[in-house]
Structure 1
Amino acid sequence: MNTIDVAIIVGYFPVIALVGLIGMKKAKTTEDYAVAGRNLNFPMFTACLAALTLGGAATIGTAKLGYQFGLSGIWFVTAQGLGMIIISIFLAKKIFKLRVLTIGEMLENRFNVEARIISSLVSATYTTMLTVTQIIAIGSVINVWVGWNVMVSILVAGGIVLFYTVLGGMWSVTMTDIVQFSVMTIGIFFIMLPLSLSKVGGFEGLQASIPAGHFNVTATGGLDIAKSILLYTLGIVVGQDVWQRLFTAKSLKVTRAGMIAAGGYSFLYAATVSIIGMCAFVVVPNLNVPQNAFASIAIEILPAGALGFVLAGVLSALMSTSSGTLLASSTLIVNDVIKRLFLPNMSEKTFLAVTRFTTLAIGVFCIICALWIQDVLVALDIAFAILSGALFFPIILGFFWKKVSARSVFYSIILSTVVIGVGLGIYGTVSIIPIVYGLITSIVVILIFTLVESLRHPASSDVGMKQ
């Protein structure tokens, strides 16, 4: 790479670390560390939410799908944007009123402690695996662009994320996300897209150079589109990482407007990165690893300086999502398991210390896992399949159906998680069958147990509520 590009990339890491250190000074209480004091305004909230969901997997994965299938690659990210809009319209008011730190707390308030513990463990599995996907993408991008060894790439970038997340929690994550969102937006929309289209002769040249099916938004097929909606839309709706960001907004108005704005941004991002992937199909055909489509076309078309800035934008997307999901994992484990079961009376100081240590431990674990799982979308499919299939119905029915019993939720989460795990082992991560089986298991178990409880206690008007 050009010396200018290397300087931009290398210089970006200490800037982000410094911003994270500034955020650390604000993390003085539990709510400061976990939800930024519940005090973010609309621009900050929207930027942080978009930076969380549109991470490395969204960028690298959508470019890969655009390379392989064309505009139909939009569904991966579009489904996530749809999930945010659904939350804004149907759930934002209910979620904002909870004043909790985790989904598990909501389930305990609605049902019992067992529902809180099991849901938190499932959610922590999801957020941890989501962190792994971002680390995989970090290794992929830096390996192709800079030529560093994958392990070195993961250790350097992952280490920076760990550094500012462990020290400052949500305030550090928020401040770095604002910087990273700005860099990501400029890099993707104002550098990569116009230069990619220019290289292939604009939209007319692109249309003449790729298969006709690449402009069909349904080219991947109805099953794959349905899978994206089941995995990513439902996963966003019940994801702890997203809920934890919702808790940072200063008002319900900010929550609703920010969710819609971030969802709309996701639609634009999906289309833009898919088009970049289509341009890569023309500029660098016959790639052995389609996952490298974005990185490969950037090397081919970007001039000195622009390449380093765009790389910084991709790294921004990676680090934004990984820091948010990493913090979500540690919050779930500490708040819903350690504090609830083992240290119920721990002080603010102890809470912060335990959370920082847990964040560090989970981060190290994620880095190790990233060296084993090599495909971004495979890891992401596993994460969302477990989350959506196991938690969607318990959470949604917990909000809207008062007669759902605590026992039904507990067994629903356990059995659907088992079914999904077995299904992934039998049918593979590319199949829609595991998530469908998981959802069916979840709703059937809830209905059966709730019906049995209502028959056993016919005088009770609300057997699902805690007594």
Structure 2
Amino acid sequence: MTSQMWMILITVVYVCAMMLLSWIIGKKTTKDETEFMVGGREFTAFMTAIGNGSILISGGYLPSIIMYGYMFGMGGMWFYLGWGTGALVAWLCWAGFWRTSGALTPTEWFEYRYGKGGRMAITIVILFASLAILGWQYVGCGETIGGALGIDPKIAMLLVGVVVTAYVVFGGIWAATATDVIQFSWVFIIQFIILPTFLIAKYGLPDAVALPDAFLSLPFGTLPVIKFVAPSVITFLMMHQSLLNQSPYWARAAGTRSLKNCKRGWMWTVIIAYFTGVVGAFIGCYARQLLPGLTDSSQAFGALMNILPIPLAACIMAGLMAATMSTCDIYLVSGVNQLVRDVAQYFLKIRDTKKLLQWAKWGTIIYGMASVFFAIFWSGGLSYLFAFGTGVGAPLFVYYLDSWLLRVGNQKGAIASVAVSMAIVLYWDILTTNSQQMNSLWLIFPASFLTLVIVSFLTKKDTVVPVDEKTGPNEAQMEILKTIKRGYSNAGAIITSMTRFCNEHQLQAGHIHNALDSLEKSGYVKRKGQRLIAQLYFSLTEKGDAAACANMSETELKTIAVYGVDSQAIQFMHWIEKDDATMSEISGKHSIYMMELSAISEHLSDLGLVRVFGQGRLKAGLTDAGRQLLRKTAAQHS
């Protein structure tokens, strides 16, 4: 059997399997728009790390790490290590911050920080950046997959795009995550374990004599360290600092089942990136030793496949398609999340769950196929497209830094910053060839930062509206006070436990954060800190506690005082008293949102009353302490 026949057979079987799996997953998991967008916040650290790793090990990145290893030896690993360092910054600084903010999309948070105008400006940035990176993935895999299957590269792009769009429509982020586990495992095992093992077994270790000087030296090989264009260590770091702040990574952080799982998942993300970077560059060194005469280093991946055994090469080529799909699916989901939250819910005020789910699915089809056609008709070149995507998305790093640490930006500063950044990308990357001498990121990062800070300082004013002391807290503010009284102390837990209230009153995370600011200014709540993740933790003051107690029943207040949890939490514990149960089962049986269940279960888990477990659907069971508490409540009522 020829390599092309092997590739066609594996591709057909693989595509059918992924479509069937996503259809089954979608039927079981996607009942509303939040499950479509963030999976009801059920994802474990393992699933988060695999999901993030699938973005790295993509159809564009797999050939590139071999290419850079071919060009610069072990220094080529910095193409992946740059991504890993971006993930390291996210892990240490704001992955947990994203999750604890309670926002399903970054634009919800940015509305709080920069107002409606800032939200819309940043939405444009996110959609353009996602479109460019999606296009880059399709263009990157088109030539390779098209050649392997013996079809036109544009047909190959269309094939991959249709398959990815279809299985995301079937199951949203759950389908993306389930297929990512398979796709990541396939690529990781075949390319980063079996392939280097085969090369070592057949050829021994790379021969330094047969390679250019310093090719095998660590940590830089022959890669330039400081250079204003890629490839260089510093530019790789900058490019990936832009990339690692885009919306797919927020979606992954927002979908984790707890803050601990979020942080642990991002820790493993960093480990995956560093390991695959070293191994990928190592394989590139073999390609240079075995195929030293290539005139175009971008051919290193394909040329190496030609000297491998046909079954192994076919599996690797099929893995390239899998890698493309596993990256495109989460970019597609995160782009659609913006459409659902920013258009359907925010502007059109749609509240019906079924309508929002239909919006999500039709949005997936439209946005997914738009990205495919964008890739098919793009003629600017692969590296040009990647530079455009990272350039457009670069200001997001500045906005996260400001939100997390500086807290100086406002609406006018954010809009001006976006305008300056887009102007630089338009002039530097599109209208001129200046990007060949200097990557636009060297201009965008400082320009967007300085613009945000300077314009915000010049237009600074206090926009926080205090609580009306005559009428007291409004309905949303009072619900927040009662939620904190029930034991939910961080913004993410507060917002998630208020899911039904927010849906009924058409509120998103930004509205709740503004309400918290008003309550803080009027002395009802106290913030743990003004910067870092501490700014997202709250407690009631005496004034706030009195207001909450005045609007809660005596029964509930007594329950909180005696047992340390509220009546809804005790009811949840009764639901799992006889046997462990999945959140999905509880949600369907008792008509409660999955998001609310995730808040309750996380709160009870932190108190040691419930154990939360499972790698698929989230399950909960009582601990010994939880059973003792239920016996105590039964004794009180007997």
TM-score (norm 2): 0.68
Aligned-partner Cα distance in 2 for 1:15–1:355 = 23
1:59 alignment partner AA: L
| Structure 2 CA distance for partners of 1:241 and 1:459, relative to 1, 3 Å | closer
Residue deviations 1:298-336, cap 9 Å, x none? 2211x2422222222222211100111111112223322
Residue deviations 1:52-104, cap 9 Å, x none? 23211221111121122222221221111111121111213321111222111
1:231 alignment partner AA: M
Deviation at 1:289, TM superposition (A): 4.0
Q: Which residue of 2 aligns with 1:84?
A: 87
Q: Equivalent residue of 1:212, what SS?
A: coil
1:202 alignment partner AA: G
Asked if 1:406 is matched to 2:398, the reply is no
Q: Equivalent residue of 1:45, what SS?
A: helix
Deviation at 1:253, TM superposition (A): 0.9
Asked if 1:211 is matched to 2:212, the reply is yes
Is the 2:113–2:410 contact (alpha carbons within 8 Å) kept by the matching residues of 1? no
| Structure 2 CA distance for partners of 1:375 and 1:294, relative to 1, 3 Å | farther
Residue deviations 1:163-222, cap 9 Å, x none? 1012211011011001111101111122222223445x32243x2222124224152312
| Structure 2 CA distance for partners of 1:121 and 1:458, relative to 1, 3 Å | closer
Which protein has the bigger helix share? Answer: 1
Q: Equivalent residue of 1:111, what SS?
A: helix
Is the 1:176–1:320 contact (alpha carbons within 8 Å) kept by the matching residues of 2? yes
Q: Which residue of 1 aligns with 2:19?
A: 17
Asked if 1:251 is matched to 2:258, the reply is yes
Moved more, 60-69 or 214-223: 214-223
Matches within 5 A, 1:132-151: 132-151=135-154
Deviation at 1:429, TM superposition (A): 4.2
From 108, 113, 124, the equivalent of 2:127 is 124
Moved more, 221-230 or 245-254: 221-230
Q: Equivalent residue of 2:62, what SS?
A: helix
Asked if 1:311 is matched to 2:317, the reply is yes
Q: Equivalent residue of 2:307, what SS?
A: helix
Deviation at 1:112, TM superposition (A): 0.6
Number of residues of Structure 1 aligned to a counterpart in Structure 2: 458
| Structure 2 CA distance for partners of 1:458 and 1:21, relative to 1, 3 Å | closer
Asked if 1:328 is matched to 2:334, the reply is yes
Deviation at 1:288, TM superposition (A): 4.5
Q: Which residue of 2 aligns with 1:56?
A: 59
Q: Equivalent residue of 1:180, what SS?
A: helix
Aligned-partner Cα distance in 1 for 2:433–2:465 = 43
1:325 alignment partner AA: Y
Identity %: 20
Is the 1:135–1:158 contact (alpha carbons within 8 Å) kept by the matching residues of 2? yes
Aligned-partner Cα distance in 2 for 1:350–1:312 = 37
Q: Which residue of 1 aligns with 2:391?
A: 385
From 374, 377, 382, the equivalent of 1:376 is 382
Structure with the larger RCO, 1 or 2 (CA within 8 Å, 6+ apart): 1
Asked if 1:226 is matched to 2:228, the reply is no
Deviation at 1:460, TM superposition (A): 11
Deviation at 1:383, TM superposition (A): 0.7
Q: Which residue of 2 aligns with 1:262?
A: 269
From 243, 265, 279, the equivalent of 1:235 is 243
Aligned-partner Cα distance in 2 for 1:123–1:104 = 9
| Structure 2 CA distance for partners of 1:112 and 1:202, relative to 1, 3 Å | same
1:410 alignment partner AA: I
Q: Which residue of 2 aligns with 1:281?
A: 288
| Structure 2 CA distance for partners of 1:288 and 1:373, relative to 1, 3 Å | farther
Q: Which residue of 1 aligns with 2:199?
A: 196
Moved more, 172-181 or 308-317: 308-317
Q: Which residue of 2 aligns with 1:72?
A: 75
Asked if 1:40 is matched to 2:47, the reply is no
Is the 2:25–2:174 contact (alpha carbons within 8 Å) kept by the matching residues of 1? yes
Is the 1:33–1:352 contact (alpha carbons within 8 Å) kept by the matching residues of 2? yes
Q: Which residue of 2 aligns with 1:294?
A: 301
Q: Which residue of 1 aligns with 2:452?
A: 446
2:363 alignment partner AA: T
Deviation at 1:375, TM superposition (A): 4.2
2:287 alignment partner AA: A
Is the 1:9–1:308 contact (alpha carbons within 8 Å) kept by the matching residues of 2? no
Aligned-partner Cα distance in 2 for 1:32–1:336 = 17
Deviation at 1:439, TM superposition (A): 1.6
5+ long unaligned stretches in structure 1? none
Aligned-partner Cα distance in 2 for 1:434–1:33 = 35
| Structure 2 CA distance for partners of 1:92 and 1:369, relative to 1, 3 Å | closer
| Structure 2 CA distance for partners of 1:66 and 1:204, relative to 1, 3 Å | closer
| Structure 2 CA distance for partners of 1:429 and 1:195, relative to 1, 3 Å | farther
Is the 2:58–2:326 contact (alpha carbons within 8 Å) kept by the matching residues of 1? yes
1:24 alignment partner AA: G
1:209 alignment partner AA: A
Is the 2:417–2:452 contact (alpha carbons within 8 Å) kept by the matching residues of 1? yes
1:334 alignment partner AA: V
Is the 1:5–1:309 contact (alpha carbons within 8 Å) kept by the matching residues of 2? yes
Is the 1:5–1:304 contact (alpha carbons within 8 Å) kept by the matching residues of 2? no
Q: Equivalent residue of 2:400, what SS?
A: helix
Q: Equivalent residue of 2:346, what SS?
A: helix
Residue deviations 1:231-281, cap 9 Å, x none? 112430x21011111111111111111111111111111121222222222
Aligned-partner Cα distance in 1 for 2:206–2:181 = 35
Moved more, 323-332 or 367-376: 367-376
Deviation at 1:119, TM superposition (A): 0.6
Asked if 1:424 is matched to 2:432, the reply is no
Is the 1:138–1:154 contact (alpha carbons within 8 Å) kept by the matching residues of 2? yes
From 172, 176, 181, the equivalent of 1:173 is 176
Q: CA RMSD in A?
A: 2.4
Is the 2:391–2:441 contact (alpha carbons within 8 Å) kept by the matching residues of 1? yes
1:240 alignment partner AA: S
Aligned-partner Cα distance in 2 for 1:284–1:51 = 29
Deviation at 1:51, TM superposition (A): 0.8
1:256 alignment partner AA: K
From 339, 352, 356, the equivalent of 1:351 is 356
5+ long unaligned stretches in structure 2? 467-512, 519-638
Is the 1:35–1:248 contact (alpha carbons within 8 Å) kept by the matching residues of 2? yes
Deviation at 1:401, TM superposition (A): 2.4
From 90, 93, 97, the equivalent of 2:96 is 93
